[in-house]
Amino acid sequence: MLRRVATFLFAAATWYLITWPYDFATGEFNIEISAAGLVVALIASIILGRVFAPVKHAHNILYRLFWAVLYLPILFFYIIIANLDVLYRIIHPKRPINPGIVKVKTSLKSASARTALANSITLTPGTLTVDMKENGVMYIHCINVHTEDLKQATQKITVRFEKILAKVFD
């Protein structure tokens, strides 16, 4: 039951952040957009409520929601940095790229956390998650491979996302 409540709160909060039903210019609140968001959040919580990791206490829901919201600007920051890096490689006369596939190992335990990590890596320009194994091993295609060493590649690619994703999902 708590998983469904957490899913509902997360879906509703996401809906409101994306649509923002309050118009500051006119001071009007759009009830139709609000109602639609609540209905969609309710349906999502019924269908997807079992997907999220088990939540034992109500304060745990708020803790996870806090870290999920905090994760978004961090992910956005790394996406911008990676965009600038790819732009540099495109406009540089010598095209300094060294493409390849590196192996990394994540310490995240749940499948949801590993999937969120893989998606975060794929959203970051210049990297693409090619394969994921059950034991936490991932194969990442990089536009510029710095090292093929497992520990160094893991440190460079996954650790920046893992710390917060562990608080959200594990």
Above 80 in pLDDT, residue 121? yes
| pLDDT higher at 101 or 147 | 101
Q: How many domains does the chain have?
A: 2
The reply to whether 18 and 102 lie within a common domain is no
The reply to whether 71 and 19 lie within a common domain is no
The reply to whether 13 and 74 lie within a common domain is no
Q: Cα-flanking dihedrals φ and ψ of residue 70, to 5°?
A: -65, -30
The reply to whether 97 and 31 lie within a common domain is no
Determine whether 69 is exposed, middle or buried from the number of CB atoms within 10 Å of its CB (0-12, 13-18, 19+).
middle
The reply to whether 84 and 160 lie within a common domain is yes
The reply to whether 94 and 19 lie within a common domain is no
The reply to whether 69 and 151 lie within a common domain is yes
Residue 118 is assigned to a structural domain of this protein: yes
Containing domain of residue 7, as a range?
2-52
The reply to whether 23 and 75 lie within a common domain is no
Tell me which residue has tokens 């001071």.
27
Q: Is the pTM of this model over 0.75?
A: no
Residue 107 is assigned to a structural domain of this protein: yes
Element (H, E) at 100: strand 100-105
pLDDT at 54: 57
The mean pLDDT value of the chain amounts to 85
